[in-house]
Structure formats: C-alpha cells, structure tokens
Structure 1
Amino acid sequence: MALTREQVVGTAVGILSDFGLADLSMRRLARELDVQVGALYWHVKNKQELLVDVAARLLGGIDAGVMHPGAPADPGAARAAVERLARAVRAALVPVPDSAEVVQLAQTMQPAALRPLTRLRDLLEEAGVPPARSAWAQHLLLNHILGSVAAQQDRAVLEEAGTERGGPDLGEEAFAWGVDVILAGVLGVREPSPRTA
C-alpha cells in the first residue's frame, strides 16, 4: 500500500501525543511508518510543513457548532462565541504534549492553515474589535490560550514525576478569568489618539 500524506500526519500526531515534540523527528517518523526518510519528503517538504499539518489536525476536531455558531445577533453573542472557541482550542491542545509550541510555530508560518484561529479573529471583529486591531487581539488571546496549555502540561509532568509543585493551579478557572480580562480590555478600550512625536 502506498504511503499517503494522511498517514504521515496521523503518525506524526501519534508520536507527538505519546512522546512529545523532542521525539518527533523525521527519522523516528520514517521508522514508525517503516519507510526510508526520503519517502516522507514526497508528502511534506520539511519538518516545519509537517508541524503545520500536525497543528491543523490537532485543531481540526473542534466542533463545527463552536466554530460557526450562526450569525451572532449582537456583539455580546459574538463575545460568547469567542469564549467558547477559546475554551475549545485549549481543550483540544491540553492532552497533547508540546502542542502549544507546535501551534505557535504553525501560526507563525501559515496562519491560514489553522482555521479555528482565523475564525477566532473573525469573531473578535464581530464582537467589536476594530479590524485594524483584530490581529493584535487575536495574538493576545492566542498567547493566553497557549500559555495556559503549556502551564497545565508542565504541572501534569511535575505531578507525574512526583515533584513538589510550587505556585497556584492555573487550570480552567484561571484560564476563563484571563479570557474575560482580555476581552474586557480589547472590547472596552477606545481607539487611542495618534501619538505626538
């Protein structure tokens, strides 16, 4: 049976999920697929392109109802949709080690490949963020999401190793509070007046 891009990406997701990013090498992937490393490059140009596909796969399972809740009737409904989508992105990433790093790389390289994140920007605009600032608001919110994912994963690793934890639990409740604070800020602030030199 011929190797497909779908198999390459699926196996890469499996390695990431089981072992983390440090073990997701092209050699390891080829070994798992029982092919020569060169065979992978028929399907992906390089590891960075592979990681974009992995990130898209990780976010691809987000429910369509969360992604497209229908036309929000007002900015309040759009804000609620932003909150739901932010929670869904976080929930999709928390179980997969190093997923925050993979998504950050993919967002930097090919943001259009990550549909839930482009949808987040659209919803921010519908909620009232000026289009000129929506990329900034999306970036701020995404940093909060990915930081929350990484913090929860780090805490889980420490717990599994039996290492004593320091600091507060920054789980779901802290995440939701952060989303509230960010949205209150980006939706409540008026456009600043031009700076004078």
Structure 2
Amino acid sequence: MVSRIDRKLVADAALRLLNEVGLEGLTLRRIAKELNVQAPALYWHFKNKQELLDEMATEMLRRMTAPLSEPEPGGRRPDETWQDALSDACRTLRRGLLGYRDGGKVFSGTRMTDESYAMPLDALLRLLTKAGFSAYQAARAWWTAYNFTVGVVIEEQSVYPEPGDPAERRPESRDPAYDLASRSQRLGEEYPLAVSAGDEMFGDLERSFEEGLRIIVAGVAATTGR
C-alpha cells in the first residue's frame, strides 16, 4: 500500500504504464490503480493529464541527458566537433524517445517542469558558439535538428509501435499497415515514384534517419559558413 506519493513517483509509474497501454490508454485513474491510491490523490500533484505529460517528458529528458554529467566516456569528448555534437544529440534524443511507446508524441508539445534541460542545452550551444556560430545560429541549428528528430520518431513509432532499441527490432513488430509489398501492389505501375518514396520513407528506418541527419548537418554548415 502506497501511503505517500510525489511527482516523481507518479511520473515513473506513468512511464511504466505508457509502455503497456500507450498514450491513448494512459489515464490518471489507471495510474492511481497502479500506485494503489485513489485517483483524487494524484490531483494534489497534477491538475490534469497535460501537466502529467509535461512531467513525464521532463523525466524522459533527465534520463536521456544523465550521461552528459558523468565522466568519460559518457560526457563530451574534448576533441568533439560541432557536427559530432549535433548529430550525437539527435541520436541520443531518438534512442531515448524510442524507448517509450508513443515517446515522440508524449515529448512533442510539452513543457519542461524544471531547469534540468538547461545544462545539456547550454553545453551543446556553448560548443557550437565555440566553433564560430552566433548565439542565434546555434539555437536555430539545434531547434531545426531537434524538430527533425522528434518528427522522425513520431513517424517511426507508427511503423514500429513497440518501444525499445531500434537495433533489436523484430520484423513481426512492424505494423502491417506499413507492409511495403502490399503498398507497392496497390499502387501498381501507375505511381512508380510514390512506390519508391514509400520504400525510402518506411523501409530501412535507421538508414533513413542517418541520411536525413546528414542533410540537416550539411544544411547547417552551408547556411552558417561553418
């Protein structure tokens, strides 16, 4: 019997349940049942589901960025280039969000509930400005790469709803709605470019992400003269 709960305890329980029921199935009532308390007890900490989602997203970010405050090899390398730093930040974000069912949807559009985001953000922006970016260019570079990554994750989790490491995905976990062979058969010879586009967008998602990330980094370099 849980006699006392706090915001972190509720967020931890919500993230566990998220992997079981997804975003649509996640309710304050269900979380209260998981914690063995009455639902009104949660309203002392969260007025509504959106406030809970904000806290969940904040806890997700804390977990993703924890290695940055650790000694090598978890922290930043002294010889790290801005291209490496920006790319690695996006990879960390993607892997972290893919670890939760509907992680991309939970994370997008939410607000951080504390300042834990400031340290990793400041460290990345500091590295970019040290490489010659203006403060504006550094912020714009990260904001563009960040939105690309979150958008990719949301689409990726439609294809593979099960949470986990993308390197360990099982073929049977792919949503049948994204079967490329049946899609190709439906479109036939009338729309060959749409067929090939589908293969590119929903085929090898790891390669698709990495190539898109290279385009983003190259675009940042081209527009900033770096």
Coarse TM-score class (shorter-chain normalised): 0.7 to 0.9
Superposition pairs for residues 106-145 of structure 1, below 5 Å? 106-107=110-111, 112=115, 114-115=117-118, 116=120, 119-145=123-149
Please list every run of 5 or more consecutive structure 1 residues that lacks an aligned counterpart in the other structure. Answer: 192-197
Counterpart in the other structure of 1:194: none
Q: Report deviation, 1:13.
A: 0.4
Q: Deviations over 1:52-110 (max 9, x none)?
A: 2211222322322587405x55xx61221221121111011113121112111225x66
Counterpart in the other structure of 1:86: 90
Counterpart in the other structure of 1:195: none
Counterpart in the other structure of 1:34: 36
2:75 and 2:98 map into 1 onto residues whose CA distance is 22
Asked if the contact 1:26–1:47 (Cα under 8 Å) also holds between the matched residues in 2, the reply is: yes
Q: CA RMSD in A?
A: 2.8
Count of residues paired in the alignment: 187
Report whether the alignment pairs 1:172 with 2:179. no
| Cα distance change of structure 1 residues 15 and 117 upon mapping to structure 2, 3 Å threshold | farther
Q: Report deviation, 1:118.
A: 5.8
Counterpart in the other structure of 1:162: 176
Instruction: State the secondary structure of the residue aligned to 2:46.
Output: coil
Instruction: State the secondary structure of the residue aligned to 1:20.
Output: helix
Normalized against structure 2, the TM-score is what? 0.69
1:111 and 1:187 map into 2 onto residues whose CA distance is 32
**Amino acid in the other structure paired with 1:92:** G
Moved more, 22-31 or 118-127: 118-127
Normalized against structure 1, the TM-score is what? 0.78
Residue identity (%): 30
Instruction: State the secondary structure of the residue aligned to 1:181.
Output: helix
**Amino acid in the other structure paired with 1:136:** R
Asked if the contact 1:129–1:186 (Cα under 8 Å) also holds between the matched residues in 2, the reply is: no
